[in-house]
Amino acid sequence: MIITDIIAKKRNKLELSTDEINFFIKGVTDHSIKDYQISAMLMAICINSLNKRETYDLTMAMAKSGSMLDLSEIPSIKVDKHSTGGVADAVTLALAPLTASLGLPIVKMSGKGLGHTGGTIDKLNSIPNFNTEIKIEKAIEQVKNINIVLMEQTQDLVPADKILYNLRDVTATVESIPLIASSIMSKKLASGADAIVLDVKCGSGAFIKDFDNAVKLSEIMIDIGKKAGKRTVAIITDMNQPLGNSIGNSIEVVEAIEILKGNITGKLKDIILVLGSYMLLLGNKTDNLDKAKLMLEENIINKKGLEKFRELIDAQGGNSNIIDDYSLLPCCKYKAEFISEYDGYITSIDTSKIGAACVETGAGRHKKDDKIDYGSGIILKKRIGDKIQKNEIIAEVFASSKEKIENALSVLSTAFSIGNEKIIPSNIILGILDNKI
């Protein structure tokens, strides 16, 4: 086979064979295909798309480009959860220990943040001495002992995706739905999960902005899951405003702990309960979603979820005293308040700009090698539908320098719309798709 022939075939809107897709991914992985040829193929796919069969073949070729994890040593059904990326998305920090406290084995591999969306690994790394770089053998042993591990993706997991994603990021092909689906599902299938719960974000703070495309992405991913023999549920969630009120790293850890302590309600807790209920259902810990929600609520009330988080921090070398003393977490020297210039109601929030403002504080990255300031970030005081008065605080900004504060405030100045009529915000759950194998 010749790569230029395959590129031309997709450029001409023709269907690629399984062998052609396997040839392409093999060439990506062993570097026999040049970056400019990979980029041309990505653009051809972005413009002309892939059908479901092509997308499945691409996903499986990517999944098999590195190690396929075998978690069979761990008893019970392993359920993985994935978010397509959001702002103030501290879900995993609370959801993972909460579901683990109910007997569901959790082997969760996560990544670092890039752009306006945060990364779970950055949040965990804000906990003093917490180790996220764990070999799979140790991870399996830890799950056998305490039922949970939260770790970085291993280097040999889906190496083709790392190459493709880096090129997608610089060739304006990130938003291709087949490429998004294959990137997500290849990692989930290679990670050894028996079942998968997908949190598909939709709105101003998500990569997928509109509901129809969120449904399309969800349908493709659950089709891939079905063909791979994995029960897969896709839950489409609203990202037209930040999920929680804290955007950053250490401050999101605090918010997750407060949920596990039972001190916070709202959209962040709501989505944790929905995702957790499906995880327990797919993991055969209950046969009823209502029962699952009650089980989760009970383990918040009795603090078993919180104690599982403490156990997790201890197991991975972190200082679990942060649960009782937040001053042990990183914090920043400078603080500023973002003030409303008008009376009225918050009518909309450009969530991607909130994420971008958070990056300006130092809590996120412009480039992959940027260093994170774990104590910086933003805390929202107002959300869509809230009444606001002139000179009232909309948000608090934390950073290590006055310059970073000013840069963040400048971005925030265009993120909020204020009007005269009260707006009712969207429901957090916009849709649920289930392949019901």
Using left for φ > 0, alpha for ψ between -120 and 50, and beta otherwise, residue 85 falls in left
Q: Which residues are catalytic?
A: 82, 161, 168, 183, 187
What pLDDT score does 133 carry?
A: 93
What pLDDT score does 436 carry?
A: 72
What pLDDT score does 361 carry?
A: 95
Mean pLDDT per 10-residue section of the chain, whose length is 437 residues: 96 97 97 96 97 97 94 92 88 97 93 68 94 93 95 88 87 89 94 94 90 95 95 95 94 97 94 97 96 98 98 97 97 95 96 93 80 94 96 97 96 96 92 82
What pLDDT score does 85 carry?
A: 82
What pLDDT score does 112 carry?
A: 66
What pLDDT score does 118 carry?
A: 64
Whole-angstrom CA distances from 213 to 82, 127, 206, 233 are: 18, 36, 12, 16
What pLDDT score does 110 carry?
A: 83
Q: Which domains does the chain have, with CATH numbers?
A: 3-63 (1.20.970.10), 79-324+430-434 (3.40.1030.10), 332-419 (3.90.1170.30)
Distance of alpha carbon 317 from alpha carbon 103, whole angstroms: 22
- Angle formed by the axes of helices 289-301 and 91-100, to 10°? 100
What pLDDT score does 75 carry?
A: 87
What residue has token string 């084995």? 105
229 alpha carbon, distance to own chain's centre: 23
- Angle formed by the axes of helices 3-11 and 18-29, to 10°? 120
